[in-house]
Structure formats: C-alpha cells, structure tokens
Copies of this chain bind each other. A is one copy, B any other.
Amino acid sequence: MPDAAATRGLLLDAARELVAEHGTATSLREIARRAGVGIGTLYRHFPNREALLDALLHANFERLQGRAATLLGSPDPADALLTWLAELASGAATYDGLPESIMSALADESSPLYASCSQMKTAAGLLLRRAQEVGLVRADVTVGDAVALVLGLAWSGGRAGEASDLAARLLTR
C-alpha cells in the first residue's frame, strides 16, 4: 500500500535540497534518485519542472500574497510598494535560477508556474497603482517594468537591503 502523499513529500524534500544546492535547473532524475523513487513516479506527481517548483514555492507565494494584502492597507503607499518589492526580490533570490524561472513563467501562460507568478504581478500592480495615484511614483512605470527590474536586481545578487535601496531610487520621484 504505497502512500502517494508520503511519496510526494519525499520528492518535495529531495527537490528542496537539490534546488538549494544547484538551482532551479537541477536534474529531475537526481531528485527522483535522492527521493528513492523511480523517475516515472516523479512525473506522475509533477508533470514537469515548473509544476514541481510551484509546489516547492507554494508557501512563499502565499506569504507574499498575504503581505501584499496587508501593505495595501498601510498609510504610506510608496513605502508599501518598495517594501513589498524588496520582499519579492529577496524571495526570488532564495534559489539560484529562480528569477529566470519566474520571468519565463510570466511569459508562458501554459506554465504551471504562471498562475502563481501572475498573482504576484497583480499584487505588485495594485501596490504600484496606489503609489502612482498619490503621485509618489513615476506614472510611466508599468507593472512589467517594475517586476522585471526587481527580478533583475535579484538575479544580479545584490543584498536585499541594497536592492530595496536601488528600487527606491529608481521608482520614486
């Protein structure tokens, strides 16, 4: 009586370790090996790399989503936006290759990561619009620009504080 839920857990544990060691492009075969499971079993649980990543990052996406909701109610719209973007940057810097994975997912509606990443982008859009309406952030910045910028900063490996500082200088007026 194989326990599918337990198998799934083994796969996610192995994936967490190997993605932490070698980035989001790590070998799926090696994940299956470390989980002590056949390669077919990995595919049975996760149809592709993006689906596995989505499951791996689920908690992080939810946390960021919650933070956006909270910050939307905060009194300083510009600070709320910049705080959230800094948290996005540090989240995207969790794993090597993650900024790339997110950027690709945003450009591919059929990616299993698309829904989660799209929600992030929507959240960013709400925070951005609020800051722009009060005139605290340049009106010519699009959500796409802001997210690409922040992922680019995360990609280039600046510390979170630095990235936040940079984003502030870039977006505010």
Contacts and interface: CB of A to CB of B under 8 A. Distances in A.
Interface of A: 103, 145, 148-149, 151-153, 155-158, 162, 166, 169-170
A149 B158 contact: yes
Contact of A170 (B148, B151, B157, B170): B170
A78 to B, nearest CB: 15
Contacts of A158: 145, 148-149, 152
| Total copies of the chain | 2
Main secondary structure of the interface of A (DSSP, over half): helix
A167 to B, nearest CB: 10
Contacts of A152: 152-153, 155-158
Nearest to A140: B162
A169 B168 CA distance: 10
Closest 4 CB pairs of A and B: A152-B156, A152-B152, A148-B156, A169-B169
A166 B163 CA distance: 13
A145 B103 CA distance: 22
Contacts of A162: 145
20 contacts: A103-B156, A145-B158, A145-B162, A148-B156, A148-B157, A148-B158, A149-B153, A149-B156, A149-B158, A149-B166, A151-B156, A152-B152, A152-B153, A152-B155, A152-B157, A152-B158, A155-B155, A155-B156, A166-B170, A169-B170
Given A149-B158, A149-B166, 16 more contacts: A103-B156, A145-B158, A145-B162, A148-B156, A148-B157, A148-B158, A149-B153, A149-B156, A152-B152, A152-B155, A152-B158, A155-B156, A166-B170, A169-B169, A169-B170, A170-B170
